[in-house]
Amino acid sequence: MTGTTLDDYTDRYARRVRGMTASEIRALFAVASRPEVVSLAGGAPYIAALPLDAVGEMLGRLGSEHGVTTLQYGIGQGTLELRERICEVMALSGIDASCGASPEDVVVTVGGQQALDLVARLFLDPGDVVLAEGPTYVGALGVFQAAQAQVAHVPMDDEGLIPEALEVAIADLARAGRRVKFLYTIPTYQNPTGVTLSEERRERVLDICERAGLLVVEDDPYGQLGFEGEAPAPLRARRRDGVFYLSTFSKTFAPGLRVGWILAPHAVRDKLVIASEAQILCPSGYAQAAVATYLSTMPWREQLKVYREVYRERRDAMLTALEDLMPAGTTWTTPAGGLFVWANLPDGLDAKAMMPRAIAARVAYVPGTGFYADGTGTGNMRLNFSFPSPERIREGVRRLAGVMEQDIAMRRVFGTVTPAGRRRQGGADAPGPDLA
């Protein structure tokens, strides 16, 4: 080895590693976690809303009284007790025995992220195409990239994924001879936009995928965090065949426990378990026991209501601050649940280029580029409202608005350059596949 690069192992890596890049969100964490910075960047739940004394006592008992089992190896699929509790949780959203939901078809995972990775391992070959909303969850993009698949983004508007654009994308890719394996979608309180797929469109999207022979991977971390009435029934509550339902306790209980799950078609269940055992052998027995005990002994349905009230207040604080403080030309979504607002910047502003100036002004957000496989989205940003207090949210928006005003003033003097990768929420882009 001659040591001519910063990484002397470059020539030895597998081909699938070559395209790996760091998540833009993870790269922000070190800066955004500084106390002087108002972080609107993350997606952390407000854990302080939990009854932490009671949770702490519960966790202590799991070690002192039940450590012989909770600290031992377990089975790859996850404990039956937890899988039964998961079915109770899903039933709140309409996914119950009447639509084929059973503990036998639940696979416990290390958070929702491993659930995504398992589906990718089972179904994606190098060069395959995944259809996904544009924009979409940055963690999913990383999984698909690691699987050497390509992502074709399908445009959204204020009612979610546009069915006509999905049909165009499928047809265009078929004509190009590309193999599309599945649609990945976050239909309820989507990350990063906060938009919810409308009732009418849910049926149309399922019909389109069924006709095209596409699997549907439904990611639903936020569905029980609605602020304005009940969310539409999940896709999995409508169709049992060909729909994989993924969720997690990271947003409704504790992300540090890293417990999620997949509800899969029965025929696929065993392969998911085998793939999971190859990765992790078995999910943490202690973490599973913690979640199962929490669901069995504590008023978790009431806790969901607490979270909804906390997040509604913070959502309203963000929307009010945006309305009061943002420069003209800025628009944003109005989420009915979840953790995020998606903002469209005034013409000429570049969210990624603006980041260093925002950090200098002690405010953090996530540029829209992190949510597109092709790196576009420079004219957008994701803003989180779940973690900061309402007062901190308003202060963060004030600082951010000041940075934007400075950039607008500079462009008045030096000229405006519209970013090539600009995206606007609301269907402004021509429908069709955007392959990266």
CATH of the domain at 343: 3.90.1150.10
Distance CA 225, CA 231 (A): 9
- The C-alpha atoms of residue 321 and residue 230 are separated, in whole angstroms, by 26
CB 384 within 8 A of CB 41: yes
**35 in a domain, yes or no?**
yes
Please indicate, yes or no, whether residues 88 and 227 belong to a single structural domain of this protein: yes
- C-alpha 337/C-alpha 324 separation (Å) is 22
Q: Is the domain of 228 the same as that of 79?
A: yes
436 occurs within a structural domain: no
Output the average pLDDT for the chain.
Answer: 91
Tell me what pLDDT residue 17 has.
Answer: 74
Percentage of residues of the chain with pLDDT beyond 70: 90
**Residue 64, pLDDT above cutoff 50:** yes
Residue 412: predicted pLDDT: 83
Indicate whether 11 belongs to any domain.
Answer: no
Question: Within this chain, do residues 268 and 393 fall inside the same structural domain, yes or no?
Answer: no
Q: Which of 242, 267, 297 is the last residue of a domain?
A: 297
CA-based torsion, 91, 93, 99, 101: positive or negative = negative
Tell me what pLDDT residue 32 has.
Answer: 65
- The domain of 310 spans 17-50+302-413
Q: Please check whether residue 5 lies inside any domain of the structure.
A: no
Question: Rounded CA gap, 26 and 305, in Å?
Answer: 29
Token representation of residue 246: 């993924």
Q: Is residue 3's pLDDT more than 60?
A: no
Amino acid at 275: A
- Say yes or no: 45 and 80 in one domain: no
Residues 261 and 383 in one domain: no
H or E segment at 407?
helix 390-414
Closest by CA position to 365, among listed 409, 401, 400: 400
Residues 39 and 105 reside in one and the same domain: no
Pair (209, 267) in one structural domain: yes
187 and 41 within one domain: no
Q: Is 316 domain-assigned? A: yes
Instruction: Identify the DSSP state of 148.
Output: T
Which residue do the tokens 């195409």 mark? Answer: 129
The DSSP code sequence of 188-254 is SS-TTT-----HHHHHHHHHHHHHHT-EEEEE-SSTT-BSSSPPPPPGGGT--TTEEEEEESTTTT-
> CATH number for the domain including 240?
3.40.640.10
**Does the residue 168 lie in any domain?**
yes
**Mean pLDDT on 28-37:** 74
Distance CA 353, CA 357 (A): 8
Residue 55 lies in a domain: no
For residue 427, what pLDDT band results from cuts at 50, 70 and 90? Answer: very low
Boundary-marking domain end, from 259, 279, 297: 297
**Structural domain tally of the chain?**
2
Q: Is residue 429 very low, low, confident or very high in pLDDT (cuts 50, 70, 90)?
A: very low
160 and 238 part of one domain: yes
* Boundary-marking domain end, from 281, 297, 313: 297
pLDDT band at residue 18 under the 50/70/90 scheme: low
Q: Is 179 a member of any domain?
A: yes
Are 330 and 376 members of one domain? yes
pLDDT digits (tens, 9 = 90+) for 372-404: 999 899 999 999 999 999 999 999 999 999 999
Same domain, 21 and 99: no
User: Can you give the C-alpha Rg of the chain in angstroms?
Assistant: 22
Cβ(330)–Cβ(351) under 8 Å? no
- Whether residue 193 is found in the same domain as residue 341: no
More confident residue, 267 or 414: 267
